[in-house]
Amino acid sequence: MNTIISGIAGIAGIAGRIRKKRSIGLPPGTPVFTGEKTPESANASIMVIDFNDSGFTENAAPSIEECIPGPNFDMTRWIMVSGLGDVEKIQSAGKAFNLHPLITEDILDMHQTPKIDIYSDIIFLVLKSLCVSPDGGLATEQLSIINGKNYVITFQEKKSPVFDNIINRIKTNSGRLRREKADYLLYVLVDCIVDNYFEVTDRLDETLEEMEDVLTSSRASLAQLRRIHTLRHAVTTLRKSVRPLVHIVNELRHEELPNSQTNLTIYFKDLYDHIFQVVETIETHRDMITVLLDLYLSSINNQINKIMQFLTLIGTIFLPLTFITSLYGMNFEYMPELKWHYGYFYALGLMVVTAVCMALYFKLKKWI
Amino acid sequence: MNTIISGIAGIAGIAGRIRKKRSIGLPPGTPVFTGEKTPESANASIMVIDFNDSGFTENAAPSIEECIPGPNFDMTRWIMVSGLGDVEKIQSAGKAFNLHPLITEDILDMHQTPKIDIYSDIIFLVLKSLCVSPDGGLATEQLSIINGKNYVITFQEKKSPVFDNIINRIKTNSGRLRREKADYLLYVLVDCIVDNYFEVTDRLDETLEEMEDVLTSSRASLAQLRRIHTLRHAVTTLRKSVRPLVHIVNELRHEELPNSQTNLTIYFKDLYDHIFQVVETIETHRDMITVLLDLYLSSINNQINKIMQFLTLIGTIFLPLTFITSLYGMNFEYMPELKWHYGYFYALGLMVVTAVCMALYFKLKKWI
Amino acid sequence: MNTIISGIAGIAGIAGRIRKKRSIGLPPGTPVFTGEKTPESANASIMVIDFNDSGFTENAAPSIEECIPGPNFDMTRWIMVSGLGDVEKIQSAGKAFNLHPLITEDILDMHQTPKIDIYSDIIFLVLKSLCVSPDGGLATEQLSIINGKNYVITFQEKKSPVFDNIINRIKTNSGRLRREKADYLLYVLVDCIVDNYFEVTDRLDETLEEMEDVLTSSRASLAQLRRIHTLRHAVTTLRKSVRPLVHIVNELRHEELPNSQTNLTIYFKDLYDHIFQVVETIETHRDMITVLLDLYLSSINNQINKIMQFLTLIGTIFLPLTFITSLYGMNFEYMPELKWHYGYFYALGLMVVTAVCMALYFKLKKWI
Amino acid sequence: MNTIISGIAGIAGIAGRIRKKRSIGLPPGTPVFTGEKTPESANASIMVIDFNDSGFTENAAPSIEECIPGPNFDMTRWIMVSGLGDVEKIQSAGKAFNLHPLITEDILDMHQTPKIDIYSDIIFLVLKSLCVSPDGGLATEQLSIINGKNYVITFQEKKSPVFDNIINRIKTNSGRLRREKADYLLYVLVDCIVDNYFEVTDRLDETLEEMEDVLTSSRASLAQLRRIHTLRHAVTTLRKSVRPLVHIVNELRHEELPNSQTNLTIYFKDLYDHIFQVVETIETHRDMITVLLDLYLSSINNQINKIMQFLTLIGTIFLPLTFITSLYGMNFEYMPELKWHYGYFYALGLMVVTAVCMALYFKLKKWI
Amino acid sequence: MNTIISGIAGIAGIAGRIRKKRSIGLPPGTPVFTGEKTPESANASIMVIDFNDSGFTENAAPSIEECIPGPNFDMTRWIMVSGLGDVEKIQSAGKAFNLHPLITEDILDMHQTPKIDIYSDIIFLVLKSLCVSPDGGLATEQLSIINGKNYVITFQEKKSPVFDNIINRIKTNSGRLRREKADYLLYVLVDCIVDNYFEVTDRLDETLEEMEDVLTSSRASLAQLRRIHTLRHAVTTLRKSVRPLVHIVNELRHEELPNSQTNLTIYFKDLYDHIFQVVETIETHRDMITVLLDLYLSSINNQINKIMQFLTLIGTIFLPLTFITSLYGMNFEYMPELKWHYGYFYALGLMVVTAVCMALYFKLKKWI
């Protein structure tokens, strides 16, 4: 999933991909990796960050099982797993941490819609991160988060910089993060993903307004129709990723969470307000796209109508000219004008005057 | 109902068929078979599969009455009834298992919308299975499921491979199925049907996107209009089959079930998430069809406009040509050009130059 | 209201008629008959059917007052009143059965929307029956039903065969009806009316699909536009009659009913499912009508465009022909072709070749 | 507000007027009269009707303060205030009856949306009456109603016949009104206003159907577009006046009312049903207006298309005629037809035959 | 944000600006000023107004910290902070008043959607004020309000006259304000902002109706399309600012407020009614804009159609004229008319008669 595509157009491609579910007919809870099998995703790389108010350590770990915090462990542990291609590894990790088989299945299913499951001992979250990658492109990524007593595990399809500035915050001890426990880390992770949505909606905003300007200036082409449909796909995908979050954050806010150590109600309410803002923006985007399509159609119509009108005007100017010529092409024996010495030039003059008058009239009427 | 039709187009036909209800005026609870009377559906074939953790047996049974599990029966029994044309047989089975007459009526009514009835001793479910048949076509089928203390009865209009891989799982003891009781079997059956919906939505997805590509490439024909309407019917039918499931699985999840032996809450929540995903996809499909219709209309319009514009351009090019010819067809006595030796060729040349200039101008303006 | 009109078109007329409310300014509870005053509706005809498990009697009664079941009456009494034009009769009946004046007013108001009122001793229902009359036409009728301890009273504007097969069931003792009490009779009456809705929706289904076929085959006429609007009226009326039933049956299902003697929950749930099915079908019909209107418009457009295109093509073929003729109508002194002996035939041949080439080109492009 | 305008068109004007709120920046509760200042509204005229089962008295009162019922007053008092231009009078009345300043403000604000406020001792209602005035025109009027222990006060902008038939009912002792208390009078007043809405919807119904007939008969003009927009305004205004009533009557029905002396639940349920019916009709009207607009557009399009088609057909008939004339205008030396004695008449005949054939062909194709 | 733009068009610009959220990646609660950095907003100016029933004082304060009311302070204090560019100042004020870091962040974030947070000791509100500035233009401004025990703090991006008439009311002791406590001041502030919305909706109303008049008079231009889109943006922005208020005032009305000293339920209900009225008006505006767009499109279409029809009519009038001229341009040897002495004038006369007849016919048919 973790593809890096340049520009907004990249988002559109996702819609087509949020499809293929786990192989039909397998028993429920059978773990199958449904992402792209690349060398990057094939091997799970595991990073463990332990921190508390006074310090932090950062280590790579060979297997997830070894990361289980011992009984005397008094820091907060963040286990970052990147690369989910090695199904057995994830499965054995699931067993080590005593996870329900359905959780393991969901972690490995890259087409899972965002969800929250609150168990008696852990919280399980699936989120979609839409973040801007260093080259300015857009990357979509599925993130699974497990929040236990004093640890948080994050699963990513492959390595990505989504959480880089959170790691930095731990290292530089900025903000409250180091002073708080695992539940606050969970909040910070979700908050980070929601923050990134603002970037995406900002970009869509810009693109949509730009399109509106272009289309009200009455220039439209088939390429723009395709672009509008690409944007429509993008907004649909964004909506599919964000809307379940309203429900998810609501649960985090109102449910009694298993490992709650700090009162995070205020924080989750704040988060809820942010998501609500994103959702409202997306609804505006949907309206905009309908408007853009209407604008496109009327613009196209307008163009063709303008051309047809122009051509018809030309035709109308020629009508009296051709009439005059065929008038003097008649073979009557007695037609005085034909005998005039300057008859021909008089006829030519008549035509020029007629044409100019008509052209002026059309100009006056603003038809040309 | 169990018709095998090739391709997506097949789905469309169903809409017309989910009509005819039980004969009006009959007392409620009167069993009437409202499906197609074929040799296949005329005779009920009964298969009984008994299984537990240690083993399984598979037998054909002459009548459903004989399948009532005895008091000492300690396995899980799955009674598969295929062929509902023999109304008396089903009715007497209903009496043997102590079913309400309305249940028997619903089992035999092939136009029943999906529903759940939770009685004090049994759960009664009606579902629509839309599964892919071996030849790649699509088959629609109504499935009634009754879940009692230690048995599950499934009723199908005629034999079909819907549940084949569940039978295989029992035989090969894969997954948890053999270790669990009848309530888990019920879950597995529903899960299997929901899984199959993903196949159908995947196909619709592909077809719809393909259509969108074709239509934004601006080629449209009446055949495509018909295809869009066929797809619209397909989506309507799919929606009618799937939407009641939201309610059904919600009941399974939140209600106290009569024969519950295992805690299946997590499983039913998972199932609920899946159905929700299908429903959301169907809503996207509905939007897509509106978009496709708009695209079709604008594409058709565009085509005709393009042709008209082309023809008008041709007409406009001929305007000055015909003007010149009729100019020199005038009968003035004194017209110097007429006397010129090469006057005719000068006139021809003038026309060629004019025509070429106009054609170039139109080309430049991108009107041709 | 009880008009017998042939075909579906008949339904449309109702919309216009569900208007005129009771005379404004009268005190609430003033009984006014708002139906059509015909000889048939002027006199109330009263039929009384008493039945229980062992037998039944059927008598005409001179007045409703005499039908009050005595204290020792141990059967179930069904009082059928047809003809509501005689306001005093209905009013005195209302007093005899101790009905609230608002009930009497509602019984006599033929424009009452369907409703349910549950009093401490009786249930009062107003329903709209849309049933198929013997000549194949459609009849709309308002039915008021009162369900007391051991009796049911039905009020119809005039005699109609709506309940004929229920009477037959009582006479032939088919189904459970004779074994049950007045509350079951109420259920059977409502069920009968809902059953009849299926007939109406089936017919609408057929008509709508037929229209769709006609319109996608691209033949459209003003008559079809009128037909679509007639269907739109029909669906609106049907919807107005059926939608309140969702609420009504829900009340019957969940409220504690005053004269409940049997547990009818299962039956009312079944009824609820049926009404829900009808409502869903009507929603589909509404969508269909929007689609039909769009189809009609695009079809009409298409036709005119096709004609215009054809005419323009003809015009375009004549363009070079007329050019050639006027070319050789020029009066230059030196035009070699004019001197040729077969010049005229060469010109004719040139024109034929040009015309044929153009026609072939247009044929090739599929423009003709 | 109390303007008398003729015909339905009059309603449309209101939309524009339900605007100007109380002067911005004034402290809340500052009484400002926002209606039209006319001689009629400038002076408050006060009528007091006292009634009970045995009799009634009707008097004019100089000020509202004097109308406070004494402690021994055992009848029901209805104080009718018409004319709200004298702000001090209303304000001092408000103080005498101990009304909250916000109530006085709302009574004087002619742009208040309908509302209900239930205080511990009184009920305060604001309603919009849309009643048919004697000359057949339509009058809009804001009515404020206060219901105290044994009195009801109604405030009208100026004298109007809205409640005339209720006064008659008191005088003639018809219906239950004289036997009941102040709470029943409140119900009767609201019922009277709702009854009047039926008249307005009936008229709109007629007008809308008439428009539909006209537009499906394919005659459309700009005047009709304006009429449709006028109707759209009318429906919007009606909707704004009626929709808050759903909530208001619901409160009257379910809340514990301060001065309740009779059980009016049945009456308020009946009222609720009526309002619901009006609201449903208004929704149908809204749909109708969308349909009318679509019909208008397609009708206009059709007309122009018909004309263009007719003109193009004429042009097409002239094509071969002009071709023939210019054919025989060619100057070839050898053109046998030119030498024929009747050549000219043969050519004329050829043209007539061609024109007639084409006209017949177009007639046959139903293009003309 | 506080930009002063002339006319309604100014509102449209806001939509584009309610975007940029706080810098992504910063820890939650980090205060960042996201408004425009102007000299005016750079320095916080602090005004303190203390008032009670007997008097008031108005002072400028150097820092917010010094404004904390002492324990013996028995008046109501209103601290007005204008200019939020100095982040440290605001932050230290937040600490002095013991505000949660998220509140400080929200106060400084000029793109915050309106919200309410009710803490145990204070109420925090963010509102958008859309007020009319002295030069008749429109100014948008974010207002944050904090209501503590005996004080209210308001934060504005820069100085603005929004609350000027409230200050006047304090000074002149008009209304109840001086007699009430801080909670009533809060209500008055919110009421003042809501009042101002009425001005904006009034203006939009006027503009929209004016547009409708113009467009039904069938004159449309591209400038109008742009104006419609500008209005659409304006309505979207207005809606985004107002809709959250429904929820906010509902909370104020139903929640138990921390510093409640007076029973303001009636006032907040009144406020709720006002906001509801604004929201309803905005919905009407949205419908209007759809209508305007449709009107625009049909108007544009109409114009072009009218022109094309006119031109085609001219072309049709020339058809028979040109036919006659080319008829008498034929070269038959025997054409009697050609020999007539007045043949030419007869032909001219024939043409004039034909043209006049056709013109009259078209006039009669109302095509010209």
Which sign, positive or negative, has the C-alpha torsion C230, C234, C240, C246?
A: negative
Is the CB of residue B242 less than 8 Å away from at least one CB of chain A? no
Question: How far apart, in Å, do the first and last CA atoms of chain B sit?
Answer: 54
3-state SS, one letter per residue, for E97-151: CCCCHHHHHHHHCCCCCCEEEECCCCEEEEEEEEEECCCCCEEEEEEEEEECCCE
Query: For testing the chain D interface, which of E165, E249, E270 should be mutated: the one with the most D CBs within 10 Å?
Result: E270
C-alpha to C-alpha distance for A365 and C363, rounded to whole angstroms:
40
Residue B138 Cα distances to A286, A318, B83, C262, E229, angstroms: 34, 63, 19, 45, 47
Q: How many CB atoms lie within 10 A of CB A76?
A: 25
Q: What is the tens place of the pLDDT at every residue in B49-100?
A: 999 988 899 999 888 888 888 888 889 999 999 988 888 888 888 888 988 8
Instruction: Report whether A150 contacts A73 (CB < 8 A).
Output: yes
Which pLDDT belongs to residue E275? Answer: 92
Q: Which amino acid would we find at residue D259? A: N
Q: Tell me how close the Cα of A294 comes to any Cα of chain B, in angstroms.
A: 10
Q: What is the average per-residue pLDDT within D117-128?
A: 91
Which pLDDT belongs to residue E8? Answer: 36
C-alpha to C-alpha distance for A140 and A130, rounded to whole angstroms:
5
Is the CB of residue E132 less than 8 Å away from at least one CB of chain D? no
Output the pTM of the full model. Answer: 0.81
Which sign, positive or negative, has the C-alpha torsion D204, D205, D208, D210?
A: negative
Is the CB of residue D24 less than 8 Å away from at least one CB of chain E? yes
| Three-class DSSP category at C296 | helix
Instruction: Report whether E57 contacts E50 (CB < 8 A).
Output: yes
C-alpha to C-alpha distance for D278 and C41, rounded to whole angstroms:
28
Q: Which amino acid would we find at residue C243? A: R
| Three-class DSSP category at A142 | strand
Neighbours of chain E (3+ CB pairs under 8 A): A, D
Backbone angles phi, psi at B339, to 5 degrees: -85, -25
Which pLDDT belongs to residue A6? Answer: 32
Q: Which residues of D touch C337 (CB under 8 A)?
A: 332
E-strand stretches of chain C = 4-5, 45-52, 55-61, 76-82, 115-118, 123-132, 138-147, 151-156
For the stretch D331-335, contacts whose Cβ atoms lie closer than 8 Å and that sit 24 or more positions apart, written own/partner, are D331/C328, D331/C329, D331/C330, D331/C331, D331/C335, D331/C338, D331/E331, D332/C328, D332/C337, D332/C338, D332/C340, D332/C343, D332/C344, D332/C347, D333/C338, D333/C339, D333/C341, D333/C343, D334/C341, D334/C342, D334/C343, D334/C344, D335/C344, D335/E331
C-alpha to C-alpha distance for E278 and E242, rounded to whole angstroms:
8
Paired residues of E146 in beta bridges: E124, E153
Window 188-227 of E, Cβ < 8 Å to D: 188, 191-192, 195-196, 198-199, 201-202, 205, 209, 212, 216, 218
Which pLDDT belongs to residue B162? Answer: 84
Q: How many CB atoms lie within 10 A of CB E141?
A: 20
C-alpha to C-alpha distance for A234 and A13, rounded to whole angstroms:
8
C-alpha to C-alpha distance for C221 and C239, rounded to whole angstroms:
27
Q: How many CB atoms lie within 10 A of CB E316?
A: 18
C-alpha to C-alpha distance for D28 and D103, rounded to whole angstroms:
11
Q: How many CB atoms lie within 10 A of CB A213?
A: 11
Which pLDDT belongs to residue C266? Answer: 87
Q: What is the average per-residue pLDDT within A185-214?
A: 88
Q: Tell me how close the Cα of E329 comes to any Cα of chain A, in angstroms.
A: 4
Q: Tell me how close the Cα of A329 comes to any Cα of chain B, in angstroms.
A: 4
Nearest residue in chain B measured CA to CA from C297: B297
Which pLDDT belongs to residue B198? Answer: 87
For the stretch A216-219, contacts whose Cβ atoms lie closer than 8 Å and that sit 24 or more positions apart, written own/partner, are A216/A295, A216/E222, A216/E225, A216/E226, A216/E229, A218/A299, A218/A302, A218/A303, A218/E222, A219/A299
Please list the ranges in chain C whose pLDDT falls under 70. Answer: 1-25, 131-139, 218-219
Is the CB of residue A308 less than 8 Å away from at least one CB of chain E? yes
Residue C107 Cα distances to C94, C146, C251, angstroms: 10, 10, 20
Which pLDDT belongs to residue D133? Answer: 55
The H-or-E segment that residue A286 falls in is helix A265-327
Does A209 contact E16 at a Cβ distance shorter than 8 Å?
yes
Which of D155-169, E14-28, E138-152 has the lowest average pLDDT?
E14-28
C-alpha to C-alpha distance for A113 and B349, rounded to whole angstroms:
71
| Three-class DSSP category at C114 | coil
Q: Which residues of D touch E177 (CB under 8 A)?
A: 27
Window 57-86 of E, Cβ < 8 Å to D: none
> How many alpha carbons fall within 13 Å on the CB side of residue A138?
21
Which pLDDT belongs to residue C211? Answer: 87
Q: How many helices (H) and strands (E) does chain E have?
A: 10, 8
Pick B24's closest partner by Cβ from C195, C302, C332.
C195
What's the CA angle centered on A321, arms A319 and A327, to 5 degrees?
A: 100
C-alpha to C-alpha distance for C312 and A308, rounded to whole angstroms:
13
Which pLDDT belongs to residue B21? Answer: 46
Average per-residue pLDDT in chain B? Answer: 84
Does E343 contact A333 at a Cβ distance shorter than 8 Å?
yes
Exposed/middle/buried for residue B256 (C-beta within 10 Å: 0-12, 13-18, 19+): exposed
| Three-class DSSP category at A321 | helix
Residue D40 Cα distances to A105, C229, D37, D83, D182, angstroms: 79, 48, 8, 7, 28
Q: Which residues of A touch E22 (CB under 8 A)?
A: 195
Instruction: Write out the DSSP string of E264-299.
Output: -HHHHHHHHHHHHHHHHHHHHHHHHHHHHHHHHHHH
| Three-class DSSP category at C341 | coil
Whether E280 shows a pLDDT value over 60: the answer reads: yes
Which pLDDT belongs to residue E48? Answer: 94
What would the two tokens of residue A209 be?
A: 């307004």
C-alpha to C-alpha distance for B83 and C285, rounded to whole angstroms:
33
Nearest residue in chain C measured CA to CA from D187: C28
Confidence of residue B226 (pLDDT cuts 50, 70, 90): confident
C-alpha to C-alpha distance for A294 and B321, rounded to whole angstroms:
40
Which pLDDT belongs to residue C20? Answer: 47
Whether A204 shows a pLDDT value over 90: the answer reads: no
Q: How many CB atoms lie within 10 A of CB D326?
A: 30
Q: Which residues of B touch C187 (CB under 8 A)?
A: 28
Cβ contacts of B136 within 8 Å, gap of 6 or more: B6, B7
Instruction: Report whether B152 contacts B186 (CB < 8 A).
Output: yes
The structure tokens 């017309």 sit at: B16
Cβ contacts of D101 within 8 Å, gap of 6 or more: D28, D29, D30, D31, D94
Does E332 contact D338 at a Cβ distance shorter than 8 Å?
yes
Q: Which residues of B touch A21 (CB under 8 A)?
A: 195, 198, 274
Q: Which residues of C touch B337 (CB under 8 A)?
A: 332
- Closest by CA position to B156, among listed B199, B192, B120: B192
What would the two tokens of residue D325 be?
A: 């004339």
Instruction: Report whether E367 contacts D307 (CB < 8 A).
Output: yes
What would the two tokens of residue A364 be?
A: 């006056």
Backbone angles phi, psi at C290, to 5 degrees: -60, -45
Question: How far apart, in Å, do the first and last CA atoms of chain A sit?
Answer: 54
Average per-residue pLDDT in chain A? Answer: 84
Residue B110 Cα distances to A150, B91, B100, B147, angstroms: 55, 15, 18, 20
Residue B103 Cα distances to B16, B90, B259, C264, C266, angstroms: 25, 11, 18, 14, 10
Q: What is the tens place of the pLDDT at every residue in D240-267?
A: 889 899 999 998 988 888 888 888 888 9
Confidence of residue A23 (pLDDT cuts 50, 70, 90): low
As for the ipTM of the complex, it is 0.76
Q: What is the tens place of the pLDDT at every residue in B155-200?
A: 998 888 888 889 998 998 888 889 889 999 999 999 999 988 888 8
Question: How far apart, in Å, do the first and last CA atoms of chain E sit?
Answer: 54
What would the two tokens of residue E264 be?
A: 């303001």
Which pLDDT belongs to residue B27? Answer: 80
Is the CB of residue B25 less than 8 Å away from at least one CB of chain C? yes
The H-or-E segment that residue B78 falls in is strand B76-82
